Amino acid sequence: MTSKPTSRDSWHLDTLAVRAAVDKSQYGENSEALFLTSSFVQPDSETAARRFGGEEDGYIYSRFTNPTVASMEQRLAALEGTEACIGTSSGMSAVLLLCMGLLKSGDHVVCSRSVFGSTLKLIGSEFGKFGVQTTFVSQTELDEWRRAVQPNTRLLFAETPTNPLTDVCDIAALADIAHQAGALLAVDNCFCTPALQRPMDLGADIVVHSGTKHLDGQGRVVAGALCASDALIRGTFVPVMRSAGMSLSPFNAWVVLKGLETLGIRMQAQSQRALELAHWLESHPRVARVYYPGLESHPQHALAMRQQHGLGGAVLSFDVKGDSPEAGRRHAFHVIDSTQMLSVTANLGDVKTTITQPASTSHGRLTEAQRQAAGIQQHLIRVAVGLEHLDDLKADLSRGLDTYGRA
């Protein structure tokens, strides 16, 4: 209940990442408490009435108020530089809450064509059923975004860098386009996290998170969040959460809360390894092309370095060689199946390095024509770099790289 007086407003990000939280309980725990309780006992009926009526702060019921979830929200808001945050049960339920809170029948959305697959489906198909119309545009061509805006455009939605090709969009330019149209810009910051990129500093209105990825960082829980102004969180999103219940469990919130304490050093260390691995792959004779924002060969390298605090992030992709889609697929599978240490899984943001062929996993539901249009070929492999020693990562990838097509 009590805490030492603090000068929290002057704290640096590194400090907020380990210190921002609700007050300690009467026991003075040093590691934040996990409040595994569905409801909270009210001191008396008058207090209960005031709390339920919103006239007094106080915990009521964990669908919409819980101290552990509140600690995670305070810490993530502090890192993103937003006034407030609301935790959600997954990254996708954060997108759901965003759309339920902001959109109504007749509204229009402009969205990058390269956003996460389930986001494409949720905004484009599911909300299409309720009369929300969406125009999908190029990740990088700002003119396409400008031309797509209509009088009823309410929301621009972007994700940068994209999965798996790491295309980077200009957040500040998109914020200008949104605001000139009287619309809001939401940015999915899953790949960079606030350790590398703060969309709010660049003019975005809402930051969307999958806590499942780097925020947890050790592949344990599914979680999500929206970060925005107090007016948007309290005025728009909390009422929807209270009715719709896409709530973050206290346990999962606690895991993410503790993950945030090491987010900064993890993102630096994983980005450093990813950059070294990208350089090594780029000079490898049996690699056709590498996609990584930290490489000078990346088409938006300068923008990425400006926007992402000089770091490329932990995800890279590369093409092996192959004369046909069949050969490309065979070679990619050979490289993946020859690894002995890397985790063959489509998840990312873990300290354990993961490897996957996007064409048959994360982008397997697309038609071959849609994949070609998106540039996701059969010979593309994605690696989400973790914290293993670089020599071990290279050795594990070399086994298949040195032998594919030579069977």
Ligand X SMILES: *Cc1c(COP(=O)(O)O)cnc(C)c1O
Residues in contact with ligand X by CB under 6 A are 90-92, 116, 119, 159, 163, 188, 190, 210, 212-213, 222, 224
CB of 292 to ligand X, least distance (A): 17
CA distance linking residue 281 with residue 307, whole number of Å: 24
Residues 154, 126: contact at Cβ < 8 Å?
no
Whether omega for the bond prior to residue 239 falls within 30 degrees of 0, making it cis, is no
Residues 87, 272: contact at Cβ < 8 Å?
no
In this complex, which beta carbon is closest to ligand X, that of residue 71 or of residue 119? 119
Which residue is closest to ligand X by CB? 91
CB of 95 to ligand X, least distance (A): 7
In this complex, which beta carbon is closest to ligand X, that of residue 187 or of residue 320? 187
In this complex, which beta carbon is closest to ligand X, that of residue 274 or of residue 401? 274
Reduce the DSSP state of residue 369 to 3 states and report it.
helix
In this complex, which beta carbon is closest to ligand X, that of residue 371 or of residue 382? 382
In this structure, what token pair is assigned to residue 173? Answer: 């330019």
Q: Could you tell me the sign of the dihedral formed by the alpha carbons of 383, 208, 181, 241, in that order? A: positive
CB of 121 to ligand X, least distance (A): 11
φ/ψ (deg, to 5) at 147? -70, -25
Residues 123, 281: contact at Cβ < 8 Å?
no
In this complex, which beta carbon is closest to ligand X, that of residue 325 or of residue 375? 375
CB of 188 to ligand X, least distance (A): 5
Q: Which of 28, 22, 36 is nearest to 77 (CA)?
A: 22
In this complex, which beta carbon is closest to ligand X, that of residue 219 or of residue 325? 219
Residue whose structure tokens are 């993410």: 256
CB of 232 to ligand X, least distance (A): 19
Strand stretches in 113-191, DSSP E: 133-137, 153-159, 184-188
CB of 223 to ligand X, least distance (A): 6
